[in-house]
Structure 1
Amino acid sequence: MALDSKHPLNSLGFAKPPAETRVVVAMSGGVDSSVVAAQLKEEGYDVVGVTLQLYDHGAALAKKGACCAGRDIHDARRVAEEMGFPHYVLDYENVFKDAVIDEFADSYLAGATPVPCIRCNERVKFKDLLNTAKDLDADCMATGHYIQRKAGNHGAELHSAADANRDQSYFLFSTTPEQLSYLRFPLGHLASKAETRALAAKYGLAVADKPDSQDICFVPDGNYASVIEKLRPGAAEPGEIVDMEGNVLGTHNGVLHYTVGQRRGLGIGGLSEPLYVVKLDVEAHRVIVGPKELLATRKIPVREINWLGDEPFTARTEWHMGVKVRSTRPPRDAIIRPISETEAEVELVVAEEGVSPGQACVFYDDASSRIFGGGWIWRGY
């Protein structure tokens, strides 16, 4: 938007007063999104809070440690009342089930290790909710994610958060350029979560000391298997635990109880060396184990790539960047070789352990904090 001599750009990047700038804030009920809403309201913006009900409200009330539960809806509503802006709760249960939960269950049963929070951002929050924000005539939508949006020569760019410990770029790689132009992330520049909580205390928010969510919102206590068994009755087919030569070492109660790289809880003792899950053969109901070195991978096939670079992804035969193959790991040096606009082979300079289908592979610029997108790991070599 061009500069207006009477109204320089406000903090959200619009050439008009905050009071004339409507912003929809996606409110999970946690401290982060509550601070975003309170801060924008204090700055004089026309704030509208929206919270998504993503699964059964009654069941959610009894659940702690996860986002978007019944208690969180109550907390978001309370913040809106305290700060004096409208707040809406939207029923997205069916959308969430179709777009996120069902794929999570099917991917897990296929031996993958899915990341449903990425799909939720991609298919629900930054799609349907973003469209709802536009329907409300909002100029933009703001969230409490720890990531930065910066103005570049070719449009808005996605950058890592200032606080590396809070950075959520791994979960937001699939944000498209069109979505990025409409989104705002007011917390991305903060140096620590302590600053966020200090702001919450400053605004007198009841959620100032609320614990951070730890689990996937529809997976109580991180117990994926119990959720899968409810979603897909009969999925826990028993089978064999075998080594790389096919020798039977033990039995299991369902492949869905295991993930690639797992060592603990295999139930096989008396071995001369530690063994890890190196592969899941879903069709044969087999868990294949082996020594740790078999987990090391250098070549990773990636598809469904969302590219955020300034030139086309296929404009080069190779891109030299850092890549993350797990949310908890730092970027590693890699060579990305495009196959098409949405597929590539990623070659790690140094092999990584535990690279698993269903995880994301996110591209980072080695020379800056910029994220160039990423894709989904879909099978191992």
Structure 2
Amino acid sequence: MSPFRHRPRPRAVPVAAAVLLGGLAVVEAWTDPTFRPYFGSLVWVAAWIAVSLASQVRWPAAGAVAVAASFPLGELLGPPGPGGAGLIAVLVAVAYAGYATAPRVSRLAVAACIVTFVVTDAVRAGISWDSIFFPAIFVPAWWTGSLVRREQARAREIASLATQLDAQREASAHAAVVEERARIAREVHDSVAHSLSVMTLQLGGLRRQLGPLLDDRPAERDIMLGLERLGRQSVEELRATVGILRTPRDDDADFSSPVSLARAGDLVDDVRAAGLDLSLETTGDLTALPRAVDVAAYRVAQEALSNVLRHAPGARTVLQVRHENDAVEVAVRDDGTGSGGLPGQADGHEDEPAATGGHGLVGMRERTGMFGGSLSAGPVAEGGFEVRARFPIGRGWQ
């Protein structure tokens, strides 16, 4: 089936041609001295031309043949030969037939128009130059309409191919992303998660073997228990991450990971077990946060506390978590009394990337930036260092 059989045709073309050329034929009959004596007859011929052109809205090929029939009709009514308006009307009708119908049908139409003119002219005046002239002008007119049709068809095919290529490219890119996520998930599951699981089990075995010794050293026993808990939590987080990577849609992911501001108390307990004097202040409901924002804010708090442990391990620190209607805010502030700073400064936060080779602050800025949030980090006037991150909560993260 031709891809253009059911395409819409520009119906305004034959309608406009009917009005203009019908009117032009009347004007020609009135102003041309040769045709003026036959004005009454030519008005009927002009009406025939107008109606035939208008019929091309429904029947393009048959309408072209009907327009060509205006020549023998004029001969029957008496006017001498086709006028200029009549020839122009046939050219327009043949071109439109070539444009609006299938080539096989339009070829038959232009052949019928040529035969009509040649036979009528031969009956009127015998074989003459006109017998060659009519085919010479009708065929190029038909070819022009067919060329416009073909070019429009080619343009639609190119647009369709471009759409298909875009779809294939998107499908290929999506498949590549899915494959890469699956590969990363396998690597994390088979190497990191496995090694961490074994390490956690060995740590638990060591704690049990040292049980009698740890009974008299409660601080060390709490540290061992905290390390075990961190190990198990890390394994759970890795497994949840693997589940997210293997899930085609984030909406379907299993968010059973313990990473949540609602469990900030567990994070504080772990950091306290590492020797940091840390307190927690919370405001608002932390159980109703959008999952993505919740995880990002938790990671910022976790990284900020890790920086305090590295650079100011003896400092008194406060973790503040506040949930408002349109934002969640996380702040970690120490009092600058830690022992890890460089000479001449309270602590070493400012030199964190250079001193440790890490990228903690960069990573925190990236996390907040993903959600259109803000991060401030630097010394405070009262002494010490503060990291404050604000995550706006919009409907897009619900």
Q: What is the TM-score of this pair, normalised by structure 2? A: 0.17
**Structure with bigger gyration radius:** 2
Higher helix share: 2
